[in-house]
């Protein structure tokens, strides 16, 4: 038997869900210093561009991909090393974030590079980005920062993008 109290509770739950609506579903993740990961799907992606921009409160690094959805692993590290050779990669700034783009390549089938080796936006925190490798399905970027702050990572679609925001 359904009681009036049960109906009232059900109405409150539905009303709460409706009020939360799409805004909560599209909310950006919080800034934290914890590592962030996400799996790939759809085969090997082609990373064909990167960009960086300075914003009020955060700096942004964007990786553009096509043909599949690449995975990612993003975290603070003490040093960045070049894939394949293991050589250290120097960057502007005192802190480092490593961005692994998994199941991806940043070159054409003919071997032409599709992303720049260095981007130097000199934002309030994000000082420099270097391509640290494109080796065996793993594309690596090193981010040079002035200080260790929270960051967030999320995807955008149409076109496929991985976004790394670093707080000031």
**Which residues have CB under 8 Å from 135's CB, separation 6+?**
83, 84
So where are the chain's domains?
Answer: 28-167
Residue 26 pLDDT: 60
Please check the confidence at residue 39 and state whether its pLDDT lies above 80: yes
143 vs 65: CA distance, rounded Å: 19
- Confirm if 91 and 143 have CB atoms less than 8 A apart: yes
Q: Given CA atoms 81, 131, 106, 151 in this order, what sign does their dihedral have?
A: positive
pLDDT tier, 36 (very low <50, low <70, confident <90, very high otherwise): very high
Please check the confidence at residue 4 and state whether its pLDDT lies above 90: no
- Is the domain defined by 28-167 classed in CATH 3.90.1200.10? no
């Amino acid at each position: 038997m359904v009681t009036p109290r049960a109906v009232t509770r059900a109405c409150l739950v539905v009303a709460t869900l409706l009020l939360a609506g799409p805004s909560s579903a599209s909310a950006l993740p919080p800034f934290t210093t914890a590592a962030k990961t996400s799996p790939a799907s759809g085969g090997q992606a082609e990373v064909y561009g990167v960009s960086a921009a300075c914003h009020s409160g955060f700096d942004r690094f964007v990786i553009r991909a096509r043909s599949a959805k690449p995975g990612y692993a993003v975290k603070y590290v003490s040093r960045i090393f070049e894939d394949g050779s293991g050589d250290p990669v120097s960057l502007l700034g005192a802190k480092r974030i490593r961005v692994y783009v998994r199941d991806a390549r940043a070159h054409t089938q003919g071997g032409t590079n599709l992303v720049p080796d260095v981007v130097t936006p000199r934002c309030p925190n994000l000082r420099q980005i270097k391509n640290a490798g494109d080796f065996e399905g793993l594309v690596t970027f090193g981010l040079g920062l002035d200080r260790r702050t929270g960051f967030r990572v999320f995807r955008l679609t149409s076109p496929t993008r991985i976004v790394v925001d670093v707080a000031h």
